Amino acid sequence: MGLWRRLFSSSSRKARRAEAEGRYREAAAAYAEAGQGEEAARALLFEAARASGPEVRRQALLDALRWLKEDDPKRQDVEGQLGDVELLRAQSDGVHTAEERRRLEQAAKQLELAGQGGRAATAWELLGRTDEAARCLEQAGEVERLEALLDSQGEQDGEVRALREALRDYDAALGSGARLEALTALKRGLSELPEAPELLRARASLEAKMFHRPALTLRFLSRRVRLVGELPVELGREGVFPVRGPGISRRHASLDRAQDKLLVSDLDSRNGTWVDGLLLESRVELGGGARVGLGEDVHLRVSLEGQGWLAVEVLDGIDRGLRGFAGKGELSLPDLPARFAFPGGYPTLTPAPGSGSKLGDREVVTPIELLVGDVLELGGVRVEVEP
């Protein structure tokens, strides 16, 4: 049946009339008869929302799932609602039979997949599954509940105390921006509890977000700015300052600074490095800035910046507009009330006093050891941290 015939069929008109009068299950049946499965599911979700009892709501949600396609993003939310209905029933009536346990276990999994870690943890606790509950609380970031769960077990031995202290120290350091200290807290806990799954998962998650070389990219005010905390700095497709193009080698050229001199070297690239239009045959030493070509397609403007830094701007090619700085010591960027540095090779940001800087929703005044995915607010400017 064509779209317009479906929309104006007698079943479709009957469905819309029933929906307007609040008879949602009747409307769903009529939509289904008209071949409008998504509308049938929508009507059943309205029925679930106004259901007077948990069983009526559960049945409406189950029926709605029948009409939602497998790839419909609403399925996950409906699964979560089903899990919540079963959890409420278990909290009210208890869990006594094998079938009730099976249904509650399914509910816990549905809530977890729907991103409702706290509710999933409650379901696992009712089942006596402490490890699963702890995992959900950890993923949901509910450290206080996790500590309470550990306390509720009544185990006051050294292992439980060590785990609780490690999680507390980790959470406090992580939220304040002391990420290396947070990692140390986890490693300290793992030295006493090497198999603790909570600590192993937290360490793996933290290490996956940490920087493993002195470089990062910032996005703010529609700009991309690359910071590299070392010299010399390599340019190329796989360089620490990545520049892409068909004529660019993986390791194409190197930039360095010697006091007030700019040093440019070619790294045996396939298409050569050019300085102010001349092909570079050996390392060149310049008194100030220069226009550097990587092959014939990509050009950079390079200049000395402050004390110990170089400034780079990509003028054309895939990465046109990318700006960056490479060097040592501290660096300030226009429009951002903060100083950047790489102590020990790790990217660190120090907010300017009184700037009202935030890490996530938390105001910070101390140095922040940055992670991939951090979102900051510096003087009202949103800053995203990328690798």
Q: Assess contact for 103 and 96: CB atoms under 8 A.
A: no
Same domain membership, residue 344 and residue 220: yes
Largest interatomic CA distance in the chain: 84
- What is the predicted pLDDT for the residue at 225? 97
**Cα 198 from Cα 194, distance rounded (Å):** 11
User: Is there a domain that residue 95 lies in?
Assistant: no
Q: Each residue's pLDDT tens digit in the chain (387 positions)?
A: 444 444 446 777 787 887 788 888 888 888 888 888 888 888 888 888 888 788 888 888 888 888 888 888 888 888 888 888 889 889 988 888 888 899 999 999 999 988 899 999 999 999 988 889 989 998 888 888 888 887 776 554 567 778 888 999 999 999 899 999 999 999 999 998 999 999 999 999 999 999 999 999 999 999 999 999 999 999 999 999 999 999 999 999 999 999 889 999 999 999 999 998 899 988 999 877 899 999 988 999 999 988 889 999 999 999 999 999 999 999 999 999 999 999 999 999 999 999 999 998 899 999 999 999 999 999 999 999 999
- Rounded to the nearest 10°, the torsion over CA 124, 104, 109, 204 is 10
The residue range of the domain holding 7 is 3-72
CB neighbour list of residue 159: distance below 8 Å, 6 or more residues apart? 192, 193
- What is the predicted pLDDT for the residue at 373? 96
| Residue 126 dihedral angles phi and psi, to the nearest 5° | -60, -30
- What is the predicted pLDDT for the residue at 378? 96
Same domain membership, residue 301 and residue 257: yes
Same domain membership, residue 381 and residue 310: no
Q: Assess contact for 113 and 139: CB atoms under 8 A.
A: no
Same domain membership, residue 223 and residue 332: yes
Q: Assess contact for 137 and 145: CB atoms under 8 A.
A: yes
Same domain membership, residue 287 and residue 348: no
Q: What is the CATH number of the domain that holds 285?
A: 2.60.200.20
User: Is there a domain that residue 45 lies in?
Assistant: yes
- What is the predicted pLDDT for the residue at 322? 95
**Cα 91 from Cα 88, distance rounded (Å):** 5
Continuous segment of H or E residues that includes residue 363: strand 362-363
User: Is there a domain that residue 348 lies in?
Assistant: yes
User: Is there a domain that residue 115 lies in?
Assistant: no
Residues in a beta bridge with 122: none
| Residue 20 dihedral angles phi and psi, to the nearest 5° | -65, -30
**Encoding tokens for residue 382?**
């949103």
Q: Which residues of 67-76 are buried (b: 16+ CB within 10 A; e: fewer)?
A: bbeeeeeebe
Q: Assess contact for 31 and 14: CB atoms under 8 A.
A: no
- What is the predicted pLDDT for the residue at 156? 44
- Rounded to the nearest 10°, the torsion over CA 162, 167, 169, 174 is 160
Q: Assess contact for 381 and 220: CB atoms under 8 A.
A: yes
Choosing from 26, 50, 72, the residue where a domain stops is: 72
Cis peptide bond N-terminal to 232, omega within 30? yes
Q: What's the structural domain count of the chain?
A: 4
- What is the predicted pLDDT for the residue at 35? 81
How far CA 330 is from CA of 66, 242, 276, 302, 366, in Å, comes to 60, 22, 29, 19, 15
Same domain membership, residue 306 and residue 161: no
Same domain membership, residue 271 and residue 334: no
Provide the angle, in degrees to the nearest 10, between the axes of the packed helices 54-67 and 37-49: 170
User: Is there a domain that residue 87 lies in?
Assistant: no
Same domain membership, residue 361 and residue 222: yes
User: Is there a domain that residue 322 lies in?
Assistant: no
CB neighbour list of residue 341: distance below 8 Å, 6 or more residues apart? 229, 329, 330, 331, 348, 350
Same domain membership, residue 223 and residue 336: yes
| Residue 356 dihedral angles phi and psi, to the nearest 5° | 65, 35
Same domain membership, residue 50 and residue 174: no
Q: Assess contact for 131 and 197: CB atoms under 8 A.
A: yes
Same domain membership, residue 342 and residue 306: no
Choosing from 317, 347, 365, the residue where a domain stops is: 317
**Cα 322 from Cα 316, distance rounded (Å):** 9
Residue with tokens 């609602």: 81
